[in-house]
Amino acid sequence: MSDKLIEVVDNAGVVRLTITRPKALNALNSAVLGELEHVLVELEGRDDLRAVLITGAGEKSFVAGADIAEMRDKTPEQARDFARAALATFKRLETLPVPTVALVNGFCLGGGCELALACDWAVASDNAVFGQPEVLLGVIPGFGGTQRLPRRVGPAMALDLCTTGRKIDAAEALRIGLVNRVMAQSELEAYAEELTKQLGGNGPQSVRAAKQAIHDGMDQDLDSALALENALFAFCFAGDEQTEGMSAFVEKRKPNF
Ligand code: CO8
Identify the pLDDT of residue 3: 81
Strand partners, 66: 28
pLDDT at 2: 65
What's the Cα-to-Cα distance from 62 to each of 66, 85, 160, rounded to whole Å? 12, 21, 22
CB 136 within 8 A of CB 96: no
> Terminus-to-terminus CA distance in the chain, angstroms?
37
CB 230 within 8 A of CB 224: no
Q: Which pLDDT score, from 0 to 100, does residue 201 have? A: 85
CA distance linking residue 94 with residue 111, whole number of Å: 14
pLDDT in tens, 117-146: 999 999 999 999 999 999 999 999 999 999
Query: What's the pTM?
Result: 0.96
Q: Are 128 and 106 in contact (CB under 8 A)?
A: yes
Could you give the ipTM of this predicted complex? 0.98
pLDDT tens figures, 202-257: 999 999 999 999 999 999 999 999 999 999 999 999 989 999 999 999 999 999 99
Give distance in angstroms: CA of 166 to centre of ligand 1: 15
Beta bridge partners, 44, equal none
Cα distance between residue 257 and residue 254, in whole Å: 9
- Asked whether 144 lines ligand 1 (CB < 6 A), one says no
The tens digit of pLDDT for each residue in 157-179 reads 999 999 999 999 999 999 999 99
- Catalytic annotation, pick one of 134, 172, 241, 251: 134
**Looking at domain 203-250, does it have CATH number 3.40.720.10?**
no
Three-state DSSP class for residue 183: strand
Probe ligand 1: pick from 25, 29, 113, 129, max atoms within 8 Å of CB? 25
Question: Catalytic one among 59, 70, 114, 229?
Answer: 114
Q: Looking at domain 6-200, does it have CATH number 3.90.226.10?
A: yes
Task: Indicate the domain borders of the chain.
Answer: 6-200, 203-250
Query: Ligand 1 atom 27: the closest Cα is on which residue?
Result: 25
If pLDDT is split at 50, 70 and 90, which confidence band does 63 have? Answer: very high
Q: State the sign of the Cα–Cα–Cα–Cα dihedral 4, 182, 123, 220.
A: negative
Residue 25: strand, helix, or coil: coil
What ranges make up the beta strands (E) of 21-60? Answer: 51-56
- The verdict on the CB of residue 27 being under 6 Å from ligand 1 is yes
**Smallest CA separation from ligand 1 atom 2, residue:** 67
Q: What are phi and psi of 14, to 5 degrees?
A: -95, 110
Whether 134 sits among the annotated catalytic residues: the reply is: yes
- Between CA 60 and CA 117 the distance in angstroms is 19
H/E segment holding residue 93: helix 76-94
Specify the pLDDT at position 175. Answer: 98
114 is a catalytic site residue: yes
Give the model's pLDDT for residue 195.
87
Say if ligand 1 is within 6 A of residue 104 CB.
no
134 ligand 1 Cβ < 6 A: yes
For atom 25 of ligand 1, the residue with the nearest CA is: 24
Do residues 43 and 16 make contact, with C-beta atoms less than 8 angstroms apart?
no
